[in-house]
Amino acid sequence: MIIFKQVQKEGVKVVQAKDLDVKTLNLQADVVIVGSGAGGSVIAYEMAKAGRSVIVLEAGRYVPSASFKEDMMDSLKRIYQDVGVQTNTTGDLVVLQGACVGGSSVVNATICARAPDEVLNSWVTDHGLTDLTPDNLAPYYTKIEQYLHVHTNEAHEINSCAAKVVEGSKEMGWSWSPLSRNVKQCALTGHCLAGCPSDRKQSMLVTYLPWAAAEGADRFQVFSDTYVDQVLTRNGRAAAVEGRVIHPDTKEVVADIHVDAQVVILAAGAIQSPMLLQKSGLDGHSGLVGRNLSVNPVVTVLAKFPDPVYGWRGALTGVRVDEFDSPKVGGYTMESTLASPVQLLYQGEQGTGTDHLRFMEEYKYFAALVVTLHDNGNGYVHWDGTVRGGDKIIEWNLSREYFETFKKAIKDAARVFFAAGAEKVYLPTFQRLVATSVFNLDKTVDAIDFGAVGLYSLRMFGYHPQGTCQMGVDPYSSVVNAVGECHTVAGLFVADASIFPTDINVNPQMTVYAMANYIADHILKRANSYFWA
């Protein structure tokens, strides 16, 4: 007998707050997954394909790709966490995440990279994760790369901003390489961060989620606008989740939701997953839930060239300067990216009045390097207050050590641009600092004021929060075990970037996909232990 499985041509069937006319939802599934981003979608697909019933609960809205407007403000309102203003306690770091069906995979810059072998090997030797060797994870990476059309940028995907970076790197004799991206037939619009309306970005919204629906049919459901408040346990096993469906515009609670499940997967991201464990009283023995937060802080170094560059046109992310990737020579990465005008406003100190207007007039002459520093778990995210009435607290601050590393990185990024012929380089600080030649560069960068404790010195973003439910074999120094299962709660798994024991030194999405698939495989191999009904 031949069985055809048809993927819906566009969109995903999602139950939204506006669709509900009941006050209480009591549901059952083999697997309930909190979060529909990279990790949640991969597990959803693998479980559905294996014949399991799956319910995915997503706190964000459902916004079909057909309605993306290539307008950053519209996207910030509809598909970003906290309108793109999710900050640390001191307001000098913005942690950007997606909050929508498909998660951050919908709003990311599509950069794909495998975790370096030395990182995975350190997980083996330092954290006892003997299965997570480069050789063992390689098949997962290969599979994901194939499924998501991951390819290395070709010549037509190197835009003029990237070309300036290439020119400068060559002049400096520094190593550079084209980036790899999960994009199919890129239309070169440059609007990745606002969501891709033509479905060329292979986000979860147009891949794993519709695939899960095709595999699962009526055994698969996605609920958006659904905030899970707690994980419930029975006799030491995960038994259910409960939460609320909240209308995204009116903020009215439309319904309470309770889902009984035999396996519970938390894939809400490194900010939300640990807080859910905390709210549920499932902190385990280690006291490390929420700790070990790395954010990979990012600054943008902006250069003005004498001739127009139109650096926003073409593929958003072209090349990286990988000369300084290794912690031994810096521990930072530089990637070419120039996005829409509003993003310039977060880059540094853009002047006041006429000065500001003149700065914005220079937009077409700009190229930019996004400098990412690989930090090491000094942050802490936690929930403060009652389960439904509290607030999240993200504690992360710039240390002196990272400040000094950033200064070196900024100087290196500026040198790339001066080598390519830039007239001036705007520094990513809260002070108005502009280097006008390589000869005054060091002095200008050294004028960045660290102040007493590094507050409001550099204008930073964190694109890659990770590490807050770290994996390990010792329940007293990790939150989840070697297969992502909570040490103290059977059947409760975490499958997002929060399980990384250390910063992986590259963009994390590929490793999240790979690890989620690895965890799904483990669950399915031991199905008799997890699914008894």
> Can you tell me which of 171, 256, 349, 521 binds other proteins, judged by CB under 8 A?
349
Residues composing the chain: 533
Tell me if 387 contacts other proteins by CB under 8 A. Answer: no
Cβ atoms of residues 175 and 322 within 8 Å: yes
Near other proteins in 238-277, by CB under 8 A: none
Span interacting with other proteins, options 20-28, 105-113, 373-381, 507-515, rule CB under 8 A: 373-381
Span interacting with other proteins, options 122-130, 235-243, 319-327, 344-352, rule CB under 8 A: 344-352
Q: How far is the CB of 458 from other proteins (least distance, A)?
A: 11
φ, ψ for residue 510 (rounded to 5)? -60, -40
Beta bridge partners of 117: none
Three-state DSSP at 153 gives: coil
> Can you tell me which of 114, 181, 200, 407 binds other proteins, judged by CB under 8 A?
200
Q: Would you state the structure tokens that stand for residue 466, as one six-digit string?
A: 């990770």
Near other proteins in 419-458, by CB under 8 A: 430-432, 449, 451-457
Tell me if 395 contacts other proteins by CB under 8 A. Answer: yes
φ, ψ for residue 339 (rounded to 5)? -105, -155
SS (H, E, C) 207-264: CHHHHHHHHHHHHEEEECCEEEEEEEEECCEEEEEEEEEECCCCCCEEEEEEEEEEEE
Q: Give the x-and-dash track for 42-81 against other proteins (CB under 8 A).
A: -----------------------xx--xxxxx---x----
> Can you tell me which of 15, 18, 82, 256 binds other proteins, judged by CB under 8 A?
82
Nearer to other proteins, 326 or 350 (CB): 350
Q: How far is the CB of 134 from other proteins (least distance, A)?
A: 23
Round to whole Å and give the CA distance between 28 and 26.
Answer: 7
Near other proteins in 455-474, by CB under 8 A: 455-457, 459
Q: Phi-psi region for residue 347, left (φ > 0), alpha (ψ -120 to 50) or beta?
A: alpha
Nearer to other proteins, 247 or 313 (CB): 313
Tell me if 339 contacts other proteins by CB under 8 A. Answer: no
Query: Total residues contacting other proteins (rule CB under 8 A)?
Result: 95
Tell me if 350 contacts other proteins by CB under 8 A. Answer: yes
Nearer to other proteins, 457 or 505 (CB): 457
> Can you tell me which of 123, 176, 227, 312 binds other proteins, judged by CB under 8 A?
312
Nearer to other proteins, 90 or 326 (CB): 90
φ, ψ for residue 254 (rounded to 5)? -85, -40
How far, CA to CA in Å, does 4 sit from each of 41, 212, 214, 349? 22, 14, 10, 57
Tell me if 6 contacts other proteins by CB under 8 A. Answer: yes
Nearer to other proteins, 321 or 448 (CB): 448
Beta bridge partners of 257: 25, 243
Round to whole Å and give the CA distance between 228 and 234.
Answer: 18
Round to whole Å and give the CA distance between 530 and 239.
Answer: 11
Nearer to other proteins, 229 or 430 (CB): 430
Q: Who's near 311: CB < 8 A, 6+ residues apart?
A: 159, 160, 161, 164, 338, 364, 366, 367, 368
> Can you tell me which of 120, 206, 413, 497 binds other proteins, judged by CB under 8 A?
206
Tell me if 380 contacts other proteins by CB under 8 A. Answer: yes
> Can you tell me which of 18, 151, 184, 237 binds other proteins, judged by CB under 8 A?
184
Tell me if 230 contacts other proteins by CB under 8 A. Answer: no
Round to whole Å and give the CA distance between 310 and 202.
Answer: 26
